[in-house]
Structure 1
Amino acid sequence: MTRSNRTFLRFGSPARLAILATTLVFVPALSAQVVLTGRVEHAKFALSGDRAMLSTVLAFAGPENPRAEPSSFRTWETEPAGWYRLSGGPGRYTLLFTQPGHYLRPFVVTNVFTRDGDQLDRRYSPRFDSYNFDDREYDTKAASAYYQAFVAKSTSVTHVGFKLATDGVDGAGSKSQTMLLSVHRKPEGTADDDVTPDKWPQVGPAMPVVEVDCGGPKNYAYSAAWNSGEVKTTPGTWYAICLRPEADGGKLQAFWRTAERSKEAANRCYRIGATDEKGNVSRAFVEKELWMSIAGDGDGLVIPFNKRVHKQFETLTRCEPKWQQTYVAQGKSLASVVCYAAVSGAQPPLARQRVMVRVRKGGPNGEQVGSERVAIGNGNYTGDASWGVFGTVFAPGEVPLVPGETYAIEMESLENYETLHGFVNIKGEISNDKPGFNPYRKHVRDDYPHGTAYLAGAKQDFDLDIQIVEYEVDARDWHLATQGDELLANGDMEQGEFDAADPAKGKLAAWKPFAIDAATQFHFAADATNPTNHIARVYANSGGGAKADGGFVQRVEKLEKATAYRLSVRVRASWPLDDQHQAMVGIDPTGQTDDPLAKTIEWTMLPSLHGTWIDHTSTPARPKDGAMSVWLRGRTTAVDPWPMKADFDAASLRAVNSGVPKSR
């Protein structure tokens, strides 16, 4: 494999990268546009303050509208390494970060709420069971196998990556060899050295890592993967990853780091040396930790259809408008689909093409399930050839699935005469105006027994090179999910100085009253329908000729600027919403509490039905600079025979949950 294939989706020359960086970094977001930037990174090893910037990671931003085009990017290899930039219109996004042909287990960020002009910068770190990305040391002698011990955090291993100092064949030369990765479980009830890892029973199948070619300047990481459930593990239990050449008598030398067991709970490495001239083989634990990453299930996602053999762009199929792939679901909601593909050299590059992704129940001719979504291309372009991936990401609940049932992933080109006609490539070849794309096949050693590819309804004798990710839990109201501690003080309105005889003499704790109209009254009252429940009330005795406009405000501090927060509160009023009566709920992203008429307050007018508690949930908001203020307001401009009352209870402010739904 060429270097350009290994460093998948390269942008171009350093000069071009510098120009592009300047353009992307310093152009501000315009109105009705949002920009999402940041870096994908991780600690180099446990207890390390140094960060490893993860490059060549594919990023997709799926807008709330499934028929809108997603945005895509590939994190940079040059400075700023690991950097991404996604942009689009305002609204709610779901983000996917994945490396189907590399060691990164995909992760999804949900509920990224944006508004006009937002520029959000977030750093994300993937989840690993065990990791070490420090390549300052390496084994100076040839080995025949390594067993890297680790304690499982996941319920199933899905990804393992490693880096060798030499491939064991000819190092910096052109030759290569195939390695094998396997997982082994420590027998129960045995001490550390009673049964060495080479005697531990294997769990699940071994996976080949083909064409490992490294040494000298060829400083590549290699990897393999499994489908969810193939290599089941028990969290808290010791396992070992075996890394060895497939061929008998093969050798290798790995990068590793010295582990100081007196200072850290380092994972031990069991090393089997190469056979020496006398036929002897050394076997011993060493206080080293291999350059290796291990990841798996347990994060709320499952991967029923993974790219297991990590050789990219192996064998093409044919260019057609529509392809399908059947598989058996493991989760309850579809999360993402990424398909390796190429497009015609006489057509616009992959990054300018789209396919529509649909899910059909039972097979290629089955009923469509849930929403269809647009997938965008991301790939290389040489002027007359373009290859890479199509990818898209779904929000939780968009496509409900039943574990154990068969489904077909359908991908159909969205290109048409308008997008194809008149295109001329670098060789002067003119587009034939025919939409289509050319998916890659799975590697010959990456067999999927539970499905197959389909073309024009006909079953094929191969699988498409796809990664399918699912949510373990189906949460169709996930856009309302919050997390973390309650941020409002006395949101339940139970604390303060209560006077049952005269609520106007009561004093509500943590909330500051404000009055725009001097006649406004503030009551810390008992709810007449439930006297043991206390509420905050804005009151105007309109029968006495008084009007009212005022309420309660609370400032919330120590908030994260890049985090969205959602307010919920129960509201009841003696009048429904009209031009003279309003119960109002406001959020001020600046955190100010002095001016109830400030233009920075975002007000919601309520209620739609008077005399009844209404549950209100706000649109998520972000603080401008670490603080927000919550405003509860009642207002009447009329003199009525019935008093205006605006009641508030059960107020709550929490961070929006941007993770994925998990089983409890």
Structure 2
Amino acid sequence: MKQLIVLTWMLVLIMPVSGQVVFKGRYVQPRYPGSEATDALAAVHVFATAGPETQSIGFRTWETDPTGWFYLPGPAGRYTVVFSDPSGFVRPKILTNQFLSDGDIVDLMLSAEFDDWDMSLVGWDDKPAADYFQTFTARGTSITQVGFKLATDGVDGAGPLGQNLLISIHRKADGMPDTWPQVGPDAVVLNVDCGGPKNYWWSAGWNSGQVPTEPGQSYAVRLRAQTQQGRFQAFWRPVENGPMGVYRKGEKGETGWLSHHLCMTVASDSDGLRIPYNKRIQAKFGEMAGFERRWSQTWRAQGRSLASVILYAATGGAQPSLMRQRVAVRIRKGGPEGPAVGVEKIAIGNGNYTGDASWGVFGAAFAPGEVELEPGELYTAEFESIENYYTLHGFVNIKGDVSDDRPGFNPYKKHPLDIYEPGQAYRKGTDPQPFDLDMQIVEYEKAAADWDRQVDGPNLVVNGGMDKVRVIEGEVVIVDLDGWKRFAIEPGTGFAQAVEGPDTPNPVIRIYGGSSTKRAANGGFAQRVSGLNKNEIYRLSARIRSTWPVDEQHACRIGFDPTGQDGDPKAATIEWTLLPGIHGQFVPFQSHPIRPRGAAISVWIGGKTTLTEDYRFEAEFDDVTLHRVASGAPK
């Protein structure tokens, strides 16, 4: 009975309440390109941020069943969501324009972006190696992350010791890979300790631009020990890809190509994002910078707009856990006392808590255009605790220590091998320090005006240009519009194909009545657009012209039905918009974001007049489109 009560409580806990939205799903990756098997991308931080008036929502993808799962409940809004583990091998993923209305539950199956990847552990090199060169084809302009798994560290396997490894990128040239020129600096992976049950991912990274690549060209990732005598053994999978694969240098210097692929991932700037300030050393939670209410860090921008900021930090003593702590994130141009740029966001903490200490990260995401940047210019990321007497007073930790009501946090310093030369940390926001803060900054490479209104993909409406019609003779000559269903609530409604004007022969569809027919009119066309995804958002747009502006006798209208029904023009589920506000000229229309209730949306256009003797009534439509809302980075 006790178990039943606990399970029931958990179910109640995760059920959305009225006015709440839920953004959930799993973050997984095909084991290798084309594989039906998947592997979870676990322990990845997820931060969803709406406007400046709401705080971010945080989560970390599950490492237990269901692995890779995430769950973010919150208020309705337009969210930007970042998935990132700055110390890991998974490149940040940004979802933009996530419009969530009251009661929405979005359930996604997401995957990461890699230039090349293979997560298979079906086999391993049975002999110690000195070097591996894994070939790949670049998709982006700069490598930012490489991850790998080893069968044994080459020191003591399952024992407590390890060794440092080096990663470098080499551009294909004549000769064997061990003669190919290196691109960019080495990246060091500290104390690689694996073997037996210690089956970890190891990784390192670079800032965008440090390892430039040309999309479509061949390169190799070189993996070697930092010491000349170091040896190790990699996981790999047999592949059939001709002479290229992995180039191996054995323990005694023997070399050769093997038709295998290492358990390795390679990620780059192929997705419209830049990472000017990356976490290049996998080690985390090192030396702390000191408890303060406000900290700042300068960096030099590479993109046109800020995408996300993740800062490693801790709280301790008699303070609530990091998950209950928030910091305002504001960006200043130039140094720490420069003018603020763009909107301020509230980052939330996410991490571990022992009852008297908590460590992890603060994170927030930004939509394109919210904080505009100029490439090459210096900026400051400022973090300031917004906790106060109300949120701190009376808190007692597991040891019985009572809060001293002081707001603040303790960020971590960057590793000594991961110095960011163009920047500097500032204590209390303005006091310069001889180190950098351990964090990751992601930017949008391209500028984007009015990103909240941008759409992508093909037009999903058939014959939205009103080009294809069929004439039907009768008491009133009418046309049928290919791809659409005609409806007439008033039988005297007229339907015709017309042109935009004497000098513009572009075809339009006309719905008419009134004095030209001596009859009232009320009718139009509907189209069911199928094959949609209820986890995606769409926008309807059109050009509309009428001989009358909207009033109580005339209506030129466009609408949609998120249920997808196209048989009842009087259905309460249709959301109509009455246009135009000005008669005699085409006006543009774009709907608010639409989420289908199932796999279809129906599009409706119509005209109505109750007058039969006044000036003629004509409602005309053209360029009716339904597009998916743009949800990635501007490109």
Structure 1: distance between partners of 2:491 and 2:594: 30
Structure 1: distance between partners of 2:539 and 2:147: 39
Letter in 2 for 1:611: G
Task: Check if 1:303 corresponds to 2:283.
Answer: no
1:33-44 correspondence runs (5 A): 33-44=20-31
Task: Check if 1:225 corresponds to 2:205.
Answer: yes
Task: Check if 1:273 corresponds to 2:250.
Answer: yes
Task: Check if 1:258 corresponds to 2:238.
Answer: yes
Cα 1:543–1:49 shift into 2, 3 Å: closer
Equivalent residue of 2:606, what SS? strand
Structure 2: distance between partners of 1:503 and 1:326: 72
Structure 2: distance between partners of 1:579 and 1:220: 69
* Structure 1, 620-629 or 122-131: larger mean CA deviation: 620-629
Task: Check if 1:467 corresponds to 2:440.
Answer: yes
Gaps spanning 5+ residues in structure 1: where? 1-14, 275-279
Letter in 1 for 2:32: F
Letter in 1 for 2:52: P
Letter in 2 for 1:251: R
User: What's the CA shift string for 1:38-90, capped at 9, x where partnerless?
Assistant: 11111111332211111111111111x22311211111111111111112122
The answer to whether the 8 Å contact 1:396/1:474 transfers is yes
User: What's the CA shift string for 1:322-364, capped at 9, x where partnerless?
Assistant: 1110011000000000000001331111111111111111111
**In the alignment, what sits opposite 2:106?**
120
* Structure 1, 81-90 or 385-394: larger mean CA deviation: 81-90
The normalised TM-score by structure 2 is 0.95
The Cα shift of 1:641 comes to 2.2
Structure 1: distance between partners of 2:350 and 2:502: 59
The Cα shift of 1:498 comes to 6.3
Cα 1:605–1:310 shift into 2, 3 Å: same
Structure 2: distance between partners of 1:432 and 1:19: 35
**In the alignment, what sits opposite 1:48?**
35
Q: Tell me which of 275, 278, 282 is aligned to 2:254.
A: 282
User: What's the CA shift string for 1:587-617, capped at 9, x where partnerless?
Assistant: 1122211111111111122222222211000
Structure 2: distance between partners of 1:157 and 1:519: 66
Letter in 1 for 2:202: Y
Structure 1: distance between partners of 2:32 and 2:118: 5
Instruction: Report percent identity of matched pairs.
Output: 50
Structure 2: distance between partners of 1:33 and 1:537: 42
Equivalent residue of 2:342, what SS? coil
The answer to whether the 8 Å contact 1:503/1:525 transfers is no
**In the alignment, what sits opposite 2:486?**
513
The Cα shift of 1:550 comes to 1.7
Structure 1: distance between partners of 2:403 and 2:502: 73
The alignment yields a C-alpha RMSD, in angstroms, of 2.2
Q: Tell me which of 57, 75, 78 is aligned to 2:64.
A: 78
Letter in 2 for 1:387: W
The Cα shift of 1:545 comes to 6.2
Task: Check if 1:333 corresponds to 2:308.
Answer: no
Cα 1:477–1:644 shift into 2, 3 Å: same
**In the alignment, what sits opposite 2:349?**
377
The answer to whether the 8 Å contact 1:155/1:297 transfers is yes
User: What's the CA shift string for 1:199-236, capped at 9, x where partnerless?
Assistant: 21111110111121111111111000000000011122
Letter in 2 for 1:287: S
User: What's the CA shift string for 1:285-335, capped at 9, x where partnerless?
Assistant: 222211100001121000000000010101111111111100110000000
Equivalent residue of 1:408, what SS? strand
The Cα shift of 1:19 comes to 6.6
Structure 2: distance between partners of 1:583 and 1:576: 8
**In the alignment, what sits opposite 2:222?**
242
Structure 2: distance between partners of 1:544 and 1:521: 8
Q: Tell me which of 76, 84, 89 is aligned to 1:90.
A: 76
**In the alignment, what sits opposite 1:600?**
573
**In the alignment, what sits opposite 1:131?**
117
Structure 1: distance between partners of 2:342 and 2:7: 38
Equivalent residue of 1:216, what SS? coil
Structure 2: distance between partners of 1:25 and 1:57: 26
* Structure 1, 433-442 or 573-582: larger mean CA deviation: 573-582
Gaps spanning 5+ residues in structure 2: where? none
Task: Check if 1:181 corresponds to 2:167.
Answer: yes
Cα 1:150–1:580 shift into 2, 3 Å: same
The answer to whether the 8 Å contact 1:507/1:524 transfers is no
User: What's the CA shift string for 1:553-585, capped at 9, x where partnerless?
Assistant: 112122223222211001122222233332211
* Structure 1, 363-372 or 168-177: larger mean CA deviation: 168-177
Letter in 2 for 1:56: A
**In the alignment, what sits opposite 2:178?**
198
Cα 1:403–1:531 shift into 2, 3 Å: closer
The answer to whether the 8 Å contact 1:591/1:627 transfers is yes
Letter in 2 for 1:272: K
**In the alignment, what sits opposite 1:451?**
423
Structure 2: distance between partners of 1:621 and 1:152: 37
**In the alignment, what sits opposite 2:512?**
539
**In the alignment, what sits opposite 2:499?**
526
The answer to whether the 8 Å contact 1:503/1:523 transfers is no
The Cα shift of 1:406 comes to 0.5
Structure 2: distance between partners of 1:531 and 1:269: 62
Cα 1:544–1:285 shift into 2, 3 Å: closer
Q: Tell me which of 539, 543, 546 is aligned to 1:573.
A: 546
Letter in 2 for 1:172: A
The answer to whether the 8 Å contact 1:328/1:407 transfers is yes
The Cα shift of 1:416 comes to 0.8
Cα 1:542–1:115 shift into 2, 3 Å: farther
The answer to whether the 8 Å contact 1:498/1:525 transfers is no
The answer to whether the 8 Å contact 1:491/1:649 transfers is yes
The Cα shift of 1:251 comes to 1.5
Cα 1:374–1:131 shift into 2, 3 Å: same
Equivalent residue of 1:419, what SS? helix
The Cα shift of 1:273 comes to 1.9
1:419-458 correspondence runs (5 A): 419-456=391-428, 457-458=430-431
The Cα shift of 1:480 comes to 1.7
The answer to whether the 8 Å contact 2:514/2:609 transfers is no
User: What's the CA shift string for 1:169-221, capped at 9, x where partnerless?
Assistant: 1111111221111111122xx2xxxx221221111110111121111111111
The answer to whether the 8 Å contact 1:161/1:292 transfers is yes
The Cα shift of 1:485 comes to 1.8
